[in-house]
Structure 1
Amino acid sequence: MADIEVGALLRFGGHDWRVLDIDGDRALVIAEHILEQRPYHDAYTDITWADCALRRYLNGAFCERFSAAERQRIVPVVNKNLDNQWYGTAGGADTEDRVFLLSIEEAVCRYFGDSSARLYDQGRKRRYWFERKDANNGRRTARLLSGGIWWWWLRSPGRVGVKAVYIHGDGNIGIQGNNILIGNLADGWCTGGVRPAMWVKVE
């Protein structure tokens, strides 16, 4: 794993991971596919990443699926959780995570091309989504392990405390957010795609 580059795929814990960044002897990776579909939280109440059920799951049961040797390679980091740039919804406390979701800043400004102009200049006609013609949309699309395209969660808050930002199936940013639990599907749940991210040692 020592000779990897940004953009490369590496196999870890039985899944393919895309390298987003390298810092010394560690690399930031994100699951190449949507590994599962889950609600953001287990109750329909105002919540932030720090206290949500999805964070507990990723840093608990999900992390425990890795072997002891693999867990030794996962580096805990402190994540900043900023307020929503369009709506001002509180992002909550900073968190120490081993496994996490990307923030809106990471997905929009850093790792899938730079669409920061759309994030920091809302414009008069954009209320809920970024422009569907954003040149970087194609970089943010993701597929389920079964092959179908699906939307996936970011950890950032949506326009109110019961919503979290997501990436639409076409790669567009749903900055207004999807409901953290209650949805419109037959089972009543809002099951977004989960693409875990983490820093792993590469030497």
Structure 2
Amino acid sequence: MEEIKIGSALSFGGYNWRVLDLHNDKALIITEDIIEQRPYHSAYKDITWADCALRNYLNGEFYEKFNVTDKSRIIPVINKNPDNQWYGSKGGADTQDSVFLLCIEEVCKYFGDSRSNLQNRGKNQRYWFERKDENNSKRLAKLLGKEWGWWWWLRSPGRVNVKAVYIFGTDGNIGIQGNNILKGNLSDGKCTGGVRPALWLKL
């Protein structure tokens, strides 16, 4: 068996995954591709990750697609859900998740280290792209392996709680101000956000 290390690709449960972190005998993994498109929530209302429809789907219908053996390797974890550092919108309660989306802090840590850009917002900076981030391209993902240009959700709140943070599909910038939780960005013709599930896997 090939040694598993950070950055390794692996197959699990019918999907291709990328290893983001290792801790003892478990690995944090995220799907290599955007595997489907879904709204963050089923209504346009203030919401946090704890109560959103996408979390319910990932820990319900999506999780149930795994067989018994695969489920036994998925490790439930307690996720912290920090407030949006730039806008102060509420991240909500801690959650116990078997499957989840990454938060802003995790994306800034695992796709190259962009934590300084997150923590040191420019005085008049409104958008992530207003400062250079050499790690943007590392966050790009294809939709079902077919083409580039699709954006994907994070679990963090945007500047208000009817928005959630996302990754731009064209350049990998962090949309820290957020996209509409129900319809995404109506102007881009690709309205529904992409889903890249993450989970902790027993090795």
| TM-score, L = length of structure 2 | 0.93
Cα shift at 1:132? 6.3
- Greater CA drift, 2-11 or 98-107: 2-11
Between the two proteins, what is the percent identity of the paired residues? 67
**Residue pair 1:118, 1:130 contacting (<8 A) in 2 also:** no
Counterpart in the other structure of 2:141: 142
Please tell me whether residue 182 in structure 1 is matched to residue 183 in structure 2.
yes
Cα shift at 1:126? 2.0
**CA displacement, residues 74-130 of structure 1 (integer Å, 9 cap, x when unaligned):** 00000000000000000000000000000000001x101111121112113421334
**Residue pair 2:33, 2:145 contacting (<8 A) in 1 also:** no
**CA displacement, residues 152-194 of structure 1 (integer Å, 9 cap, x when unaligned):** 00000000010000011111010000000034549x9941010
Counterpart in the other structure of 1:198: 199
Gaps of 5+ in 2: none
Rounded Cα–Cα distance in structure 2 between residues aligned with 1:100 and 1:68: 19
Rounded Cα–Cα distance in structure 2 between residues aligned with 1:57 and 1:114: 30
The alignment covers a number of residue pairs equal to 200
Gaps of 5+ in 1: none
Rounded Cα–Cα distance in structure 2 between residues aligned with 1:179 and 1:66: 30
Q: Any residues of structure 2 matched to 1:98-113 within 5 Å, and which?
A: 98-108=98-108, 110-113=109-112
**Residue pair 1:182, 1:189 contacting (<8 A) in 2 also:** no
Rounded Cα–Cα distance in structure 1 between residues aligned with 2:20 and 2:130: 24
Counterpart in the other structure of 1:92: 92
Counterpart in the other structure of 1:36: 36
Rounded Cα–Cα distance in structure 1 between residues aligned with 2:138 and 2:90: 27
**Residue pair 1:180, 1:190 contacting (<8 A) in 2 also:** no
Amino acid at match of 2:62: F
